Amino acid sequence: MNGIRDALLLQKRELEKYFKEAYMERDEKLAPAKDDLIRVIIGPRRAGKSFFVMHALKIKGKFGYANFDDEQLIKTDNFDELLAIIDSLYGRPETLLLDEIQNLENWELIANRLQRQGRKLFITGSNSNLLSRELATHLTGRHLQITVFPFSFKEFIKLQKEELTGPENCTKLFEYAANGGYPEPLVKSIDRKNYLSTLFSSIIYKDIVKRYGIRKPQAIEDLAEFLLSNVGNEYSYQRLSEFTKSRSPHTTQKYVGYLEEAFLLFSLRRFSYKTREQLTANKKIYAIDTGFISAKSTKSTQDIGKLYENIAAIYLKKKETEGKIQLFFWKNAQQEEVDFVIKKGAKITSLIQTCYDISGPDTKKREVRALIKAKQELKCSNLIILTNAYENEEEAEWYGDRAKIKFMPLWKWLLENSSE
């Protein structure tokens, strides 16, 4: 066990170094562990999950730590011996932070046992479906889940440590759209593109290829780059399988699922009151962070409108992971589309378009017309168009149906709604 002790000792020293680094408080709040519920923190690799928990636990007292991204630790077949080393290094703490626990075989059984023994557990993971599946099976009703994404626009602005006016926020949103919200490149001012390219490769090869034993890794890497080059667009598994030269749309569907599980991309379903239609219709794809689009897209120039749409999608997706909304897009037989349909319970509460430049009369007419048609079908009157800078509330009419439409700068919508 000397190798494991050395690995844990090295992690302890790294932990002490982390506490000396600058830390910006996140929007998420970590409730005190006064009960025996396991705190589960999930989210993309390098989004700041561990840092978030470490600083919360530092305030509350001592804790033991192990990071299972270390191959030395996951090779152990005796967790009790590993735990004994943690206890000796940290003075048998009641609280444990177990990082990237999905890499440890039978982790859910170990977590269950530790909980029964009275330990207060904080566990993190970078695989959404794997964690959710095992939590639902083995820890039902005995855990609280928190999702940590890369910095939101509000957090990005907070990092600037200055009061910004409206025009300056427009500029900062453009910067945020291009750079993304991953904390390390922003806090440490390191080369963003190189950092995100390396992170992309780590997610592909460490979290997907190795975990699932994929024999042709280039295929899933090409698929990820293709999807990042087409954010905000619809896809079908058949068309994607033709692109990847896969013989099976089923294989392509699995690959897309792996990319979503690893928090690299996420999909939106097309809204329909018919469940079968909702399941079989094309979906739309978005990046978990717009920095990946700039770093890995195969397109020579970026569509700023699609980047802004992706930013709104990330914000809303976060709300969905918190259980506050259900998120869809809408499209009719005439191919008219509304970017986001917000559903709370059984009710559609908002219909949202994103349009970077609304100044063209044809563009404005197209966006308004789709909103009003969706309003008629979905019986929702809360209509919003998110823009770069234009702000107003206007009445519009389409074939006798009048509606109020709120035009709002995306930056303002992100900041004003961030606490909801």
Q: How far apart are CA 294 and CA 228, in angstroms?
A: 9
- Residue 403: the pLDDT is 93
Confidence at 160, pLDDT banded by 50, 70, 90? confident
More confident residue, 32 or 277: 277
More confident residue, 248 or 284: 284
pLDDT tens digits, residue range 219-252? Answer: 999 999 999 999 999 999 999 998 877 778 999 9
Q: What tokens were used for 379?
A: 């019986």
Confidence at 152, pLDDT banded by 50, 70, 90? very high
What is the average pLDDT score of the chain? 90
Which residues 6+ apart lie within 8 Å of 222 measured at CB?
243, 244
For the four alpha carbons of 266, 175, 308 and 148, in that order, the dihedral sign comes to positive
**pLDDT-wise least confident of 12-16, 138-142, 158-162, 404-408:** 138-142
Q: How far apart are CA 277 and CA 271, in angstroms?
A: 8
Confidence at 301, pLDDT banded by 50, 70, 90? confident
pLDDT tens digits, residue range 105-125? Answer: 888 889 889 988 999 999 998
Q: What tokens were used for 217?
A: 């890794």
Query: Percent helix, strand and coil across the chain, each rounded to 5?
Result: 50, 20, 30
Q: What tokens were used for 206?
A: 């460490």
pLDDT tens digits, residue range 180-225? Answer: 999 999 988 789 999 999 999 999 998 999 889 998 899 999 999 9
The overall pTM is greater than 0.75 = yes
Cα 215–218–219 angle (5° rounding)?
A: 80
DSSP state of 69: T
Which residues sit opposite 348 in a β-bridge?
Answer: 343
43-50 mean pLDDT: 93
Q: What tokens were used for 155?
A: 């957090």
Q: Which of 166, 202, 206, 199 is nearest to 181 (CA)?
A: 199
- Tell me how far the alpha carbon of residue 249 is from its chain's centroid: 25
Give all strands (DSSP E) within 81-130, no chain letters.
95-99, 120-125
Q: How far apart are CA 237 and CA 290, in angstroms?
A: 23
- Residue 288: the pLDDT is 98
- Residue 304: the pLDDT is 94
pLDDT tens digits, residue range 308-357? Answer: 999 999 999 999 998 999 999 999 999 999 999 999 999 999 999 999 99
Complete domains list, the chain, with CATH: 2-147 (3.40.50.300), 153-307 (1.10.10), 327-416 (no CATH)
Q: Considering just the CA atoms, what is the radius of gyration of the chain in Å? A: 23
**pLDDT-wise least confident of 56-60, 329-333, 400-404:** 56-60
- Residue 60: the pLDDT is 67
Q: How far apart are CA 291 and CA 285, in angstroms?
A: 15
DSSP state of 305: H
What number of residues does the chain have? 420
Q: Which of 109, 39, 100 is nearest to 65 (CA)?
A: 100
- Residue 400: the pLDDT is 80
Percent of the chain with pLDDT over 70: 95
- Residue 74: the pLDDT is 86
Q: Using an 8 Å Cβ cutoff, are 332 and 220 in contact?
A: no
Q: How far apart are CA 175 and CA 186, in angstroms?
A: 11
* C-alpha torsion 367→370→376→378, nearest 10: -100
Give all strands (DSSP E) within 315-375, no chain letters.
326-331, 337-344, 347-354
- Tell me how far the alpha carbon of residue 285 is from its chain's centroid: 13
- Residue 130: the pLDDT is 62
**pLDDT-wise least confident of 14-18, 137-141, 262-266, 293-297:** 137-141
Q: Using an 8 Å Cβ cutoff, are 313 and 268 in contact?
A: yes
Confidence at 132, pLDDT banded by 50, 70, 90? low
- Residue 300: the pLDDT is 67
DSSP state of 359: -
Q: What tokens were used for 157?
A: 């602005």
Q: What tokens were used for 79?
A: 């967790």
- Residue 361: the pLDDT is 92
Q: What tokens were used for 44?
A: 């993309």
